[in-house]
């Protein structure tokens, strides 16, 4: 199979695909006006739910996860890390087992899910807890984590923790030794806690600029420390609500495009109508403008943004070229996760997890999506056949 299209930052070209793998790329000249673009599919390392399916719901079933996939494909997402948030150990274990059941039931789900993300319960119960329930929070417990990892089939690939909690650094060292990416998030700690976590092996910041107290010291605070730490990649939410334009620009400049990672942090309310919902027992509301908040008004509660929309917002905020904005939603997360089933760039040997799209002001309009060379979404309204 050959696909001819504009290749972001590289002109017009033909991508040759053989047995689900990119076999070669032929450059055919400058970009052609009006033609769609071909790029690696988008990857979300922090997705809490989508289209009515809450990954932390007590009644989650594998069939729901599989049925949700086409909704994600329409947004250009070829891979995601299902994220379970702060809950009881029993509830977390149950839903990790459900995720494993979905993998066994559907090969496409297994291919689209490189690993899982555990966000909590090892978070700060203080002002930074956000929409997480402090009742279930406690210091990191390695034996408990191993039980969760067993329920998850060894596929917890990212764990977010607050580095100031007792035992955090030892936990980070052990997790890093096991190949788990440790991320700093929902922290009330200070620079020293961040520096110690980095020395112990932390390599990521979870939704940097969020999950921290509303009021912090102007100099001695965890945001500056994480920005300054060259070892840390930074994940950010670009939905026009979580971060101001200036901070998005600062993160992109400090981390560089190779260590800036777009996430949605979307919950099950994404694509649903405005109204009141629940997130692990916490009442939340999706407002008409797309903002998701706790009903008590204390803070945001995840997002309802899609990744194809987040790329457009990121590009508007930073002024970056299309190729660079796409890299933050595909190349950077793929290289962080380092899983062979992912596509990090248009290059021979990479898996053909691709999107054909048209950049519009508010979002990438996805015309077609391939996962392992198989067409899983085609927008026939744009003259494409499946």
Q: Structural domain of residue 241, as residue ranges?
A: 41-341
Show Cβ contacts of residue 308 under 8 Å, excluding neighbours closer than 6 positions: 42, 75, 76, 357, 363, 364, 365, 366
Tokens of 140: 């990191």
Residues 350 and 294: beta-carbon distance below 8 Å: no
Q: Looking at the domain assignment, is residue 358 inside a domain? A: no
CA diameter of the chain:
59
Concatenated DSSP letters of 204-229: EESSTTSSS-SS--SSSSHHHHHHH-
Residue with tokens 């390392």: 45
Q: Looking at the domain assignment, is residue 267 inside a domain? A: yes
Residues 91 and 151: beta-carbon distance below 8 Å: no
Q: Burial code of 31-70, b = ≥16 C-beta within 10 A, e = fewer?
A: beeeebbbbbbbbbbbbbbbbbbbbbbeebebebbbebbe
Structural domains in the chain (count): 1
Q: Looking at the domain assignment, is residue 258 inside a domain? A: yes
Q: What is the pLDDT along the chain (386 residues), one digit of tens a residue?
A: 999 999 999 999 999 999 999 999 999 999 999 999 999 999 999 999 999 999 999 999 999 999 999 999 999 999 999 999 999 999 999 999 999 999 999 999 999 999 999 999 999 999 999 999 999 999 999 999 999 999 999 999 999 999 999 999 999 999 999 999 999 999 999 999 999 999 999 999 999 999 998 899 999 999 999 999 999 999 999 999 999 999 999 999 999 999 999 999 999 999 999 999 999 999 999 999 999 999 998 799 999 999 999 999 999 999 999 999 999 999 999 999 999 999 999 999 999 999 999 999 999 999 999 999 999 999 875 544 33
Q: Looking at the domain assignment, is residue 300 inside a domain? A: yes
**Separation in Å, CA 223 to CA 34, 186, 189, 227:** 42, 11, 10, 6
**Separation in Å, CA 132 to CA 128, 207, 355:** 9, 14, 34
Q: Looking at the domain assignment, is residue 382 inside a domain? A: no
Is the model's pTM score more than 0.85? Answer: yes
Q: Looking at the domain assignment, is residue 368 inside a domain? A: no
- Report the DSSP pairing between strands 374-378 and 364-371: antiparallel
CATH code, domain with 307:
3.20.20.140
Q: Looking at the domain assignment, is residue 287 inside a domain? A: yes
Q: Looking at the domain assignment, is residue 158 inside a domain? A: yes
């Amino acid at each position: 199979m050959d696909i001819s299209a504009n290749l972001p930052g590289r002109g017009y070209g033909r991508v040759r695909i053989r047995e689900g793998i990119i076999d070669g790329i032929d450059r055919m000249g400058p970009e052609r006006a009006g033609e769609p673009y071909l790029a690696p599919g988008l990857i979300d390392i922090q997705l809490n739910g989508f289209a009515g399916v809450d990954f932390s719901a007590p009644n989650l079933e594998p069939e729901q996860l599989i049925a949700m996939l086409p909704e994600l494909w329409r947004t250009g997402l070829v891979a995601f890390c299902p994220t379970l948030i702060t809950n009881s150990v029993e509830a977390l274990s149950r839903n990790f087992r459900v995720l494993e059941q979905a993998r066994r039931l559907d090969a496409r789900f297994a291919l689209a899910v490189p690993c899982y993300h555990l966000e909590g319960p090892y978070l700060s119960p203080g002002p930074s807890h956000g929409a997480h329930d402090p009742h279930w929070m406690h210091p990191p417990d390695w034996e408990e984590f191993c039980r969760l990892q067993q329920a998850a089939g060894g596929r917890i690939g990212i764990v977010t923790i607050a580095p100031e909690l007792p035992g955090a650094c030892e936990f980070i060292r052990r997790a890093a030794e096991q190949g788990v990416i440790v991320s700093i998030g929902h922290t009330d700690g200070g620079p020293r806690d961040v520096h110690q976590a980095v020395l112990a092996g932390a390599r990521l910041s979870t939704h940097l600029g969020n999950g921290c107290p509303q009021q912090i010291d102007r100099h001695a605070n965890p945001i500056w420390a994480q920005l300054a730490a060259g070892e840390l990649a930074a994940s950010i939410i670009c939905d026009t609500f979580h971060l101001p334009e200036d901070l998005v620009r600062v993160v992109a400049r400090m981390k560089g495009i190779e260590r800036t990672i777009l996430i949605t942090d979307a919950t099950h309310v994404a694509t649903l109508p405005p109204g009141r919902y629940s997130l692990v027992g916490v009442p939340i509301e999706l407002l008409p403008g797309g903002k998701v908040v706790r009903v008590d008004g204390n803070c945001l509660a995840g997002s309802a943004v899609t990744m194809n929309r987040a790329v457009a917002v990121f590009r508007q905020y930073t002024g970056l070229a299309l190729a660079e904005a796409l890299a933050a939603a595909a190349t950077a997360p793929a290289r962080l996760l380092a899983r062979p089933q992912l596509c990090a760039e248009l290059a021979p040997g990479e898996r053909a997890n691709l999107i054909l799209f048209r950049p519009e002001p508010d979002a990438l309009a996805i015309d077609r999506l391939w996962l392992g060379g198989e067409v899983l979404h085609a927008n026939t309204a744009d003259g494409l056949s499946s």
